[in-house]
Amino acid sequence: MELFLQRTVDGLSEGSVYALLALGLVIIYRGTGHLNFAHGEMALFCAYAVYQFGEWGIPIGIAVVMGMGVGFLVGATAEVALVRPVARKSAFAVFIVTIGLFQFLNWLDGAIWGGQQLPNTGVGSKQISYPSLFPSADTDFVSIFGAEITIKSLGTIGLVLVLSAVLFFVFNRTKLGLAMRAVASNADSAKLVGIRTNTVLMLSWRIAAAIGALGGVVTAGNAQSVSQSLMFSVFIYASAAATLGGFDSPLGAVVGGLAIGVIQNLTAGYVEWVGQEMKVGVSFLVIVAVLLVKPSGLFGTAKVERV
């Protein structure tokens, strides 16, 4: 029983990171109707930026806020310079552009910070390991019915819950949330009622990139390092989470992320041939199953087409 609880707790801890990335995917989809395949690389770029701020001696709290600011800039630039011009001509072209942006940002990370894994312990490095937002010492944990859950995991789960509550309020109780839903549903009709569609689209990408920056920092902090391949599998897990919960539901992103984390850990723990290396396969199976059974996800809104 203790082993089952430990694997479940570990799954919730990993799933909270997936939920952070999935929230960013949901914000962009809910505000623009597009899927951002470069979301993981945008988060990675911000994680590298936070590392650089730490090398300059900036405390982790301030560095994370500055990293979210970098996310704001990256998100706004991507939407204005790349997505907006092609979206007017073809929705499918946005898919191609975000894949190209994925490749460009990954190359840019290597060009700026080199291909090596950071932090390194070489001369001039001020950071022995990637800084963590929460206490991460071996003694920083609590025991629940025999299962050990770290303070870092509790902090990440708490962060996800707070963000979810804020986004729920924004989407359902503010004019911005209403405007985002209107623009995603029909941008032309939204313009007719006075909504500044370009501003709403840019805000959606900005907010999503800032939340993605948090996800990148938490992921790098858990790994205690950052590299060009860090966010690839995490983005796949986040995509599975958003698919499971529903791409237009922040609540679904959180539930989906936690569920994916638990499913992966239990499957890897009890099905021997799966193991840790095949977790990504479990995510693919979840995506396929949801698309076949309920394409809108558990909490997503099914689209009704009139003919």
- DSSP category for residue 134: S
Alpha-carbon span 46 to 63, nearest angstrom:
10
Q: Give Rg (Cα) of the chain.
A: 19
According to the model, what pLDDT value does residue 147 have?
Answer: 73
306 located within any domain: no
Helix residue ranges per DSSP H, the chain? 2-32, 39-55, 60-77, 84-87, 91-113, 151-173, 175-185, 187-192, 197-223, 232-245, 250-270, 279-293
262, part of any domain:
yes
Taking the C-alpha atoms of residue 36 and residue 25, their distance in angstroms, rounded to an integer, is 7
3-state SS class at 14: helix
* 303 inside domain: no
Residue pair 64/221 in contact by the 8 Å Cβ criterion: no
pTM over 0.85: yes
Q: Which domain holds residue 266?
A: 2-293
Per-residue model confidence as pLDDT tens for the chain (307 residues)? 677 888 888 888 899 999 999 999 999 988 888 889 999 999 999 999 999 999 999 999 999 999 999 999 999 999 999 999 998 788 788 989 999 999 999 999 999 998 767 876 555 667 778 888 888 766 667 777 677 788 888 888 899 999 988 988 888 888 888 888 888 777 788 888 888 888 988 999 999 999 999 999 999 998 888 999 999 999 999 999 999 999 888 889 999 999 999 998 888 777 766 666 677 788 888 888 888 888 888 888 776 555 5
| Domain assignment of residue 175, yes or no | yes
Provide the token pair at 76: 């706004």
Structure tokens of 119?
A: 């932090």
Max Cα distance, the chain (Å): 67
Per-residue pLDDT at 13: 87
Are 129 and 54 in contact, with CB atoms under 8 Å apart?
no
Q: Which two tokens stand for residue 146?
A: 């025999």
CATH number for the domain that contains residue 137: 1.10.3470
pLDDT at residue number 261: 92
Q: Does some domain include residue 301?
A: no
Helix or strand or coil: residue 131?
A: coil
Quote the DSSP letter at residue 144. E
- Total domains in the chain come to 1
Is there a contact between 53 and 67 (Cβ–Cβ < 8 Å)?
A: yes
Distance of alpha carbon 219 from its chain centroid, rounded? 10
Determine phi and psi for 249, rounding to 5 degrees: -130, 110
User: Does 302 reside within a domain?
Assistant: no
Asked if residue 300 is part of any domain, the answer here is no
Q: Kindly state whether residue 94 falls inside one of the protein's structural domains.
A: yes
